[in-house]
Amino acid sequence: MQASIALILASIGVISLACQWLAWRSRMPAILFLLIGGIVAGPVTGFLNPEAVFGDLLFPFISLAVAIILFEGSLTLRYDEIRGHGKMVRNLIPVGTIVTCIIGTLAARWAVGVSWEVALLFGAISVVTGPTVIAPLLRAVRPTSNLANILRWEGIIIDPVGALLVVLVFEGIVSWGQGNVFGHSLYIFGKTLLVGFLIGAAAGYLNGLALRQHWLPQYLHNAGTLIFMLGVFVISNELAHESGLLTVTVMGIWMANMRQVPLDAIIEFKESLS
């Protein structure tokens, strides 16, 4: 008998909770159990087929979920936590991105035997780690506070950087042989950065100001910030493809470093939501 959609949706929550509990009991990263649970529920047993359950809403839903995760993570990125280590973060992101992309590209080309175009695209995708990977590892390994802050910054900022890199690589592959590939890629890069930083900074300032000046009642802080962030994310993506992740990251960092902005309840709410 085919399971109902309601049963499948409820099962996703139950399986996720069980994976989180197992990770807590075993002191291992939750991402490990979540991956195993997803593989068993999906390809192994066939119980969960995301495309059949969500249809055309699957990828928009995933995009919005990633935006929530990145925004929640960026709300915890305060400059005073990496004072004296900012240069390390700035060096780690570009160097790590280039090295990971090269290794991923060569591995896909030589180990799997795919074309150079597909290998380069795989190398760009492999750059992304993200808070969903780094945060559980940090909880399990428990490094020093300085190292944890550096890795947390890198794990969150690398997500929009990796998304931008994938877009540039894909655009370069598609437009190869059709004219000025470098100029086209440079245009996409500049447009994405401009839209991401401008809208992100403006949205962060406006939302922080609204919270600080009590333009929203206390009970609407969480919901209002969430809806506003998702709206900004979608608008940014409409203006420049895949700029939304950069926008919400900049927005979160801006709010995290504004003075007298009440963020504790919002961070707790978004941690639970993530």
Please give the residue that has the higher pLDDT: either 95 or 84.
95
Q: What is the pLDDT of the chain when averaged over all its residues?
A: 82
> Would you state the pLDDT for residue 229?
92
> Would you state the pLDDT for residue 72?
82
Distance, in Å, from the CA atom of 154 to the CA atom of 214, rounded to the nearest integer, reads 32
- Phi/psi-derived region of residue 130, left when phi > 0, alpha when psi is between -120 and 50, beta in every other case: left
Tokens of residue 274, six digits: 């993530």
| Residue 47 near residue 41, CB atoms below 8 Å | yes
Distance, in Å, from the CA atom of 257 to the CA atom of 226, rounded to the nearest integer, reads 18
> Would you state the pLDDT for residue 203?
93
Please give the residue that has the higher pLDDT: either 63 or 272.
63
| Residue 50 near residue 42, CB atoms below 8 Å | yes
Please give the residue that has the higher pLDDT: either 124 or 205.
205
Give percent above pLDDT 90 in the chain. 11
Q: What is the pLDDT of residues 231-255, one digit of tens each?
A: 999 999 999 887 888 899 899 889 8
Q: What is the pLDDT of residues 155-183, one digit of tens each?
A: 777 878 777 787 777 777 776 666 666 77
Closest CA to 81 of 144, 141, 130: 144
Q: Is the pLDDT of residue 111 over 80?
A: yes
DSSP string spanning 59-94?
HHHHHHHHHHHHHHHHTT--GGGGTTTHHHHHHHHH
Please give the residue that has the higher pLDDT: either 109 or 27.
109
For the chain, the C-alpha Rg in angstroms (whole number) is 20
Q: Tokens 């020093």 identify what position?
A: 144
Tokens of residue 100, six digits: 């990971």
Q: What is the pLDDT of residues 194-220, one digit of tens each?
A: 999 999 999 999 999 988 888 888 888
- Phi/psi-derived region of residue 131, left when phi > 0, alpha when psi is between -120 and 50, beta in every other case: alpha
> Would you state the pLDDT for residue 1?
46
Q: Largest Cα–Cα distance of the chain, in whole Å?
A: 60
How is the chain split into domains, by residue range?
1-48, 49-273
